[in-house]
Amino acid sequence: MNLLWITPEIFLSAAALLLFAGNIRRRRIAVGFTMMALVMAGILVLKFIYENGSVLETAAVDGMSAFFKLLLLAGMSLSLGLANDSAEMKEISWGTFCGVWLLSTVGLMMLAASLDLILVVVSLELIGISSFILTGFLKREKRSMEAAIKIFLVGALSSALFIYGISLVYGALGSTSLAALAGFSFQGPDRLCLVGGLLFVIAGLGFKLAVVPFHMWVPDTFEGAPTPVTAYLSVAPKIAALALLVRALPFHGAAGLSPLLAVLAVASMTLGNLAALRQTSVKRLLAYSSIAQMGYILLGFVAAGTLGLSSVLVYSAAYLFMNLGAFACLIAVSNESGSDRLESFDGLARRSFPLALLATVFLLSLTGIPPMLGFVAKFSVFAAAISERWFLLSVIGVLNSVVSLYYYFRIVHSMFFSEPSSSVPIRWSWGLSGCLVVSALITVLAGLWPAGLLAWVQQVVP
Amino acid sequence: MIEFWMFNAMALLTVVPALLAVTVKNVFHAVLWLALSLVGVAGLFIILGAEFLFVVQILLYVGGIVVLLLFVVFLSGRPSDWKGRSSNEQWLGALLLSAVLFSSLSAVFRMMPSAKPVTGSPGPAILSLARILMKDWALPFEILSLVLLAALVGAVYFTRPDQERKGGGPW
């Protein structure tokens, strides 16, 4: 036990308190300070990357938690850059926004490291409450408030399901630790109670991951929230929940949960992709695409084993950067046009060729076309599924990727082959271009030379 | 034997007011019925020998949360709340779903041989609780304070009138 190991979290909480206490309203000061705090926390996480242990046996400090924490910190700082440059977020109290942003980061990092269901519940609450505040941050706008109320109600429902499931699990195991869950044989007399509890737990997590049939809140919430917050919502809570699943997973094969996860995966991929086909708002399109992407990731959990879990880690990293990049392009375009309709992408190549090129990189990666990182991720997920003899599932996954090609390339088509509706050049600012460049570099370079990422992942997966 | 009848009496005290709480038309009365149902749950706890849960149930739920609910009813209630139905057209579906959930859960619990009621009174619970909270669960306990902080900031932010242009600190 070493309390020093949670210095990154303590540091971020202290920074959040400073932001609240300082009552900072200047954007530059608040965002700069928060950015520095996130980078410092990243350095502190790097310092403990080779440790292997736990804090009070509730939070793990090991290679895997470091992997996810670094991923989450990268996601939070990149999407903070988006918030900094979004035209929607002009007149807000930045100190409050950044403080809540940091509190949510602490919750995400704790969730990704938890070894105990009690810490899981508490961190889920921290994430839930801060997501709710961030979603409704433009409180003068009706759509933002509507989205906030939706995410609040859904969050309350999913927490209730989750906690109820945990109480059943505790009744069956007499312990709340994930290790006890992993070591359970599923042969004993309490088997039914445990499986029942796990079903509630999966339903509760399903809302956080936004997989079908727990997805109905996603499109409206994603559309109503300020776009940088949508970028955060589409990435960070999902990756933290995936980290939790990876840690809690070793038990699921014995319980026969794989078929259930397979059904969720097929439903998410298919419904997400089919619904995305008809969208005219790019924000809604990305919302449905994120539902479909979670379906692909679930394939890794269906396959389970070392191969399956490593593919989940690779996909999480790929998803983080390509999705944030896509949202960065959307924000760059809608800053000028004030709309997130598909038409505002018309002729983007003539207004700003580099932006259109970067957008194409992210959309190619989301489709899973080489040489982007998204291809490596999809390849490893499908390879894991095939190695566990889930052939039909892999075929459905590949067919779904073909469907997604259509709606992702509708955007590419309108960027390169449509007449621009306005000739205003796109302005670049540092937060936005930082997010674009970093995401694009990682998507392309890690896609061309995936060996480094794969080696890192292999090292941290048990 | 006496425990059996006590249990049934308390179960009745929990279930009947709970039913009334969702069926009566007057919101104020519904809250009062809810309070009675929560007292019934407290009674169940004391029968099972869980004094700490009994105290928490009375203090927190009957004492705190019900008063909070009454405050909300008084402050934000409208005259229409006094006679509107508290259920909508989907009550039949909800009833069916609850019935399915109830029957499957009770089937699960009946299959659990280890589910025996705890009898007898445990030792002083508060001291060991304090030890657990401040030692074993110190980390979730501290994170919980961040949850409360976030909730507080959110409540202040959403209820505060717009005055970001005026007031505020030097930055």
Report d(CA A203, CA A215) in Å as an integer.
Answer: 11
B contacts of A23 (beta carbons < 8 Å): 168-169, 171
Residue A144 near residue A224 (C-beta atoms within 8 A): yes
Q: What pLDDT, on the 0 to 100 scale, is given for residue A179?
A: 81
CA pair distance A82, A75, nearest whole angstrom: 11
Q: Testing the interface with A: which of B147, B156, B163, B166 to mutate, by most A Cβ within 10 A?
A: B147
pLDDT tens sequence across A183-214: 666 666 677 788 888 889 889 999 999 998 89
Pairwise pLDDT comparison (A236 vs B24), residue with the higher score: A236
Residue B67 pLDDT: 83
The distance of B85 to chain A (nearest Cα, Å) reads 21
ipTM of the complex: 0.89
CATH topology of domain B1-79+106-122: Four Helix Bundle (Hemerythrin (Met), subunit A) (1.20.120)
Which tokens belong to A146? Answer: 């509507």
Segment A105-110 mean pLDDT:
96
Output the pTM of the full model: 0.85
Those of residues 1-20 in A touching chain B at CB distance below 8 A are 6, 13, 16-17, 20
Chain B residue nearest residue A14, CA to CA: B146
Q: Are residues A128 and A159 in contact, defined by beta-carbon separation less than 8 angstroms? A: yes
* pLDDT value at residue A99: 95
Please, which pLDDT band fits residue A298 given cuts at 50, 70 and 90?
Answer: very high
Residues with Cβ within 8 Å of B67's Cβ and at least 6 positions away in sequence, in order, are: none
Alpha-carbon gap, residue B59 to B47, rounded angstroms:
18
Residues of B in contact with A91 (CB under 8 A): 164
Q: List the beta bridge partners of residue A281.
A: A341
Q: Are A33 and A76 in contact (CB under 8 A)?
A: no
Q: Is A91 exposed, middle or buried (0-12, 13-18, 19+ CB in 10 A)?
A: exposed
Task: Indicate the pLDDT class of residue A399, thresholds 50, 70 and 90.
Answer: very high
Q: Which residue of A has its CA nearest to B164?
A: A93
**Any idea where the domains of chain B sit in the sequence?**
1-79+106-122, 125-161
pLDDT of residue A363: 95
pLDDT at A323: 95
Cβ contact B143–A91 (<8 Å): no
Beta-carbon contacts of A210 under 8 Å, excluding residues fewer than 6 positions away, are A217, A218, A238, A290, A291, A294
Instruction: Spell out which residues of chain A touch residue B171, defining contact as CB-CB under 8 Å.
Output: 22-26, 29, 95
Residue with tokens 């396959």: A303
Q: What is the pLDDT of residue A75?
A: 96
Measured between CB atoms, which of A29, A104, A126 is closest to B171?
A29
Angular region, A418: left φ>0, alpha ψ -120 to 50, beta rest: beta
3-state secondary structure of A279: coil
Residue A299 has a pLDDT of 92
| Residue A260 pLDDT grade (very low, low, confident, very high; cuts 50, 70, 90) | confident
* Cα–Cα distance, A450 to A453 (Å, whole number): 5
- Pick the most confident of A24-28, A376-380, B2-6, B42-46: A376-380
Q: Write down the pLDDT at residue B5.
A: 87
Question: What's the mean pLDDT when you consider all of chain A?
Answer: 90
* Domain limits, chain A: 257-462
- Tell me if A58 and B137 make a contact (CB, 8 A cut-off): yes
**Mean pLDDT, consecutive 10-residue segments, chain B of 171 residues?**
85 92 85 92 85 82 83 73 71 89 85 60 67 84 90 85 54 51
Interface of A with B in 189-208 (CB under 8 A): 189-190, 192-193, 196
